[in-house]
Structure 1
Amino acid sequence: MLAAKNVSLVKNRNFLIVAIALGVILNPLNTTMITVALPEIKNEFLLTSKDITWLIASYFIVSAIFLPLIGKLSDTYGRKKIFLFGLLLVGISSFTAPLSPNMPFLLGMRTIQAIGTSALYPAGIGIVRSYIQKNQNRVIGTLSVFATTSAAFGPTISGLLIQQGGWHVIFYVNFPIIIISAILAVLFIPNDVRSTNNTFKWDGIGIILFSLFITCWMYFFQTLASGLNVWALIGSLVLTFLFYFFEKKKAGPFIDVIFLKNNPNISLVYVQYILATVIFFALLLSMPIYLQSVLKLSSQLTGIIMLSISIFSIVTTPLATRWIDKSGYRKPLLTGGIIGVVGGVLLLTINHNSPLYWIFIVLATIGLSNGILNIGLQTRLYSFVSVAETGTASGLFMTSRFIGNILASSVFGVIFAAGVNDTSQNWLTIILLIVSVILLPGILFITKKMQVMHGDGSSAS
């Protein structure tokens, strides 16, 4: 264990939490801010729609690859060091990205940015679990609220800034966040204590295979809109099996597939989060286009309606955290899943004649479900793993989120390839409703009564 779980080492608990929260928001903020800037970037660099798609897709892929890797590094070499290093990378990329002379350079800077922001979440959660004992779930819930809020307001912030100074300005938003987070981290996060029993072994081949199969699957999903690419599918399957069998025999694997196989609760939490993310992100992608193209709403009014999902998710998160602390995981998570199914059914009632208040209510229902599932699955995961494994576990958790994003964007691309209308929106809703139903038995499995040992020796049912 890198740092003793000793509250006395923390000079100021609140400043420590703020330092981590500011770092945690950088990944979702930069994921969503870029979406509004895409038309300007496309015009400036004379890109095709397919080219511009990879500006978002590459961020997902890099984040999915580096989150588990940096999570392991933070568990081994020190969470404070990794946290500060992540802030440094985001600062470098935010300074150089606006100076990009071409698309490859911008992609390179976005890659550095994705690596930097990928360091902040697993290291930050590890710091919380190491030094915050009182109301730990509530603190993790607070961080989740910060992340959700930044993702929700990213497009709004980006839209206002682009009107003033073009797409370049969105990268400068990061600087005040980075500076304040870095100062608070240096002053109030205790220094790392290196463990002599915990060493990091590089699994180069495993990392390469993981990167290749994630990228290949992304390519396969991206090309589904124009038909089934058999060779891409075969390549994706072959790389997936190669990765599994290689990691299965590896002494120090990049991702411990045997551990995941032998711990179905942990594996199923990751799967559940992928499915929950597919629902949430697919709606974030599809509804704005549907509202503007079919209902002919302005971008400003569309933004206000879309905030219903995120605002209700934000409000629900702290309430769900308290509910979980009092009654355990089963009732809150099952309630969140059922609300999600209800929200999916209500989505089927939306069409071009729907009043705006009804659309707002339906999307708010989805937001309520997402708020409960997000924090519930996250805290349930940490009940299954030790404090020393937090960085690795949270890194894989966020990798699950990006896999969900990749699947959601692929479903969106296929469904809306023929046009945006009531029919395509209903087909997307049917798919999301099926996903919502699939979530329910998984929730029952991961919340069945059992004694789960924490890294500090305590237990939870």
Structure 2
Amino acid sequence: MRAFPLRRRGGTERDDEAFDRRLILPMILGAILNPINSTMLAVALVPIGIAFGAPAAETAWLVTGLYLATAVGQPVVGRLIDLYGPRRLYLLGSVLIGVGGVLGTLAPALGVLVVARVLIGFGTCAGYPAAMHLIHSEAQRTGRDSPQTVLTILAVSTQTVAVVGPALGGLLIAVGGWHATFAVNAPLALACLALGTWRLPREPLAGRSVRVGLAARIDLAGIVLFSVTLVALLLFLVHPELRLWFLPVLAVAAGAALVGWELRTSSPFLDLRLLGGNGPLLATYARSLLTAVSSYALLYGYTQWLEEGRALDPSIAGLVLLPVFGTGILVSTLTGRRPEIRGKLLVGAVTQVVVAGLLLTLGPTSALWLVVVVALVAGVPQGLNNLANQNAVYHQAAPERIGSSAGLLRTFYYLGAIVASTAGGVFLTPRADTPGMHDLAWFMLGAAALFVVVTLADRSLGRVTAAARGQAS
């Protein structure tokens, strides 16, 4: 990884040793564009379906398209950021977001709208890896590796967006129809372009020799094989049907070819030898997947049960979920500056087990206060696990691959979200009744128990915490 020096004009030596706070705003804005586009769409699917006469099975591709683009794109863009710095990728991503927003606003057909969502998905891939790269670069520049506060801001901002996203989407639809949920990306992209141009560090790119080096260092074959593997796997998880048997076969074949190629090439997209020798990082990726399984199973499955099994009005069901995010934001804010990682993960993992157990006690006549208690308890792992996993990757990843490592963290998280969505479709079909919700809770309990085992078995977390505490001091 290269560090790009940033100096405040007229600043003192002490200023130069501090994290450049001018970076925080573009970092946060870039990182939240993905979750805000994910959550805004939730309230726009029905009006979009009505506008184009499309059933839910077709409008679901608006969600799937963004998930596929971001799951594949984040580690790819992250690797490019590792090699050539965040500025150009950040600006290019901003352009794609703006183009996707305009295309979606003017879309004459649902297919065009899906293309717009894919463009937005690829555009938002740069935000999170760029933020992690900048935090690491600043630590290298200043010699003061104490990123807890900035990492906490990053985590809390994305959680906050998850709360306000549906409300913002509803407001935009009330003002300008579903088109407004796409149109809002244009001013956001312009803001990213302005902030990125003004505040992100410039990387020297010297002529022809660097362009030749660029072509030589990009592992195009590895990227293509990785993309085919992941897309085939995710498509099958989204639609696990017998008639699509060829998708897992394709995923296995492309995955085997990917392994063979990456072990032979001199500059691999995925350094499997380095990754395979980094057990702690692989364990963090596994925890990210398991975190998303429990979190999204609750978000999707519990919400459906509240409406169909508990017979709550959708507006009341939405209010019941607010404590999940509110508690999560509060927990992240209170614990974010503490360098402990293992303790946070253990508390988060055990609390996920408790949440699954509480779900097993609920029934169609359960008191509303008990339903709210479940949401409050569920906010604890929401606030601890994502923050701890993010901080773990920051310390466990190879410095020269921090961007791609952060992107892979998000890929595993999206994979867990899709697994949760698939499980919800299995257990809550044809109706989200109480027996189905209990079956989903047992599934969540299994994932949470595995999370506990993975965390307890990972002895490296204590060393990571000690290193973070020493660097912070």
TM-score by length of 2: 0.88
Distance 1:153 1:45, change over 3 A: same
Pair 1:146–1:447, CA change in 2 (3 A):
farther
SS of 1:348's partner is: helix
Aligned residue for 2:328? 313
Q: Given the alignment of the two structures, is residue 356 of structure 1 paired with residue 372 of structure 2, yes or no?
A: no
Aligned AA (1:107): V
Identify the range of structure 1 (106-115 vs 439-448) with the bigger mean alpha-carbon deviation.
439-448
Seen in structure 2, the aligned counterparts of structure 1 residues 236 and 386 have a Cα distance that, compared at 3 Å, is closer
- Quote how far apart the aligned CAs of 1:262 are: 1.4
Contact 2:223 2:269 in 1 (8 A): yes
Match of 2:29 among 22, 27, 36: 22
Q: CA deviation at 1:371?
A: 1.2
Q: Summarize the alignment of residues 92-111 of structure 1 with structure 2, pairs less than 5 Å apart.
A: 92-111=99-118
- In structure 2, stretches of 5+ residues that fail to align are 10-14
Query: Residue 122 of structure 1 corresponds to which residue in structure 2?
Result: 129
| Conservation of the 8 A alpha-carbon contact between 2:341 and 2:465 | no
Distance in 2, Cα, partners of 1:436 & 1:449: 18
What amino acid is aligned across from residue 343 of structure 2 in structure 1?
Answer: K
Paired residues in the alignment total 456
Equivalent residue number for residue 392 of structure 2? 380
Cα-to-partner distance string for 1:334-367 (whole Å, 9 max, x where unaligned): 1111111111111211221122221121122122
- Alignment match, 1:342: 354
Query: What amino acid is aligned across from residue 217 of structure 2 in structure 1?
Result: K
Q: Does 1:83 align with 2:90?
A: yes
Q: Is the 8 A contact 2:145 2:471 kept in 1?
A: no
Q: Which residue of 1 aligns with 2:172?
A: 161
Q: Which sections of structure 1, spanning at least 5 residues, go unmatched? A: none
CA–CA distance in structure 2, aligned partners of residues 285 and 453 of structure 1: 33
Residues 31 and 131 in structure 2, CA contact (< 8 A), matched pair in contact too: yes
Deviations 1:170-210 (A, max 9, x none): 12333443344433333333323459998562323322222
1:387-430: CA deviations, max 9, x gaps?
43221111111111211122122112222222210011111111
Query: How far does the alpha carbon of each residue in 1:268-321 deviate from its partner, in whole angstroms, 9 at most, with x for none?
Result: 111110110111112212222222222232232222111121111111112222
Comparing 447-456 and 364-373, the one that deviates more: 447-456
Is 2:273 the counterpart of 1:262?
no
Greater mean alpha carbon deviation, residues 433-442 or residues 34-43: 34-43
Residue 337 of structure 2: which of 322, 325, 343 is its match? 322
2:138 pairs with 1:131: yes
Distance 2:385 2:467 in 1: 24
Distance 1:34 1:330, change over 3 A: same
What is the 5 A alignment of 1:31-42?
31-42=38-49
Name the structure 2 match of 1:3: 3
In 1, the alpha carbon distance for the partners of 2:268 and 2:359 equals: 43
1:143 is the counterpart of 2:159: no
1:278 aligns with 2:293: yes
**What secondary structure does 1:297 align onto?**
coil
Partner of 2:12: none
Distance 1:362 1:449, change over 3 A: closer
Structure-to-structure mapping, 1:398-409, within 5 angstroms? 398-409=410-421
Matched, 1:420 2:427: no
Q: CA-atom RMSD, angstroms?
A: 2.9
**Contact 1:385/1:454 (<8 A) preserved:** no
Distance verdict in 2 for CA 1:233–1:148, change over 3 Å: same
Residue aligning to 1:72: 79
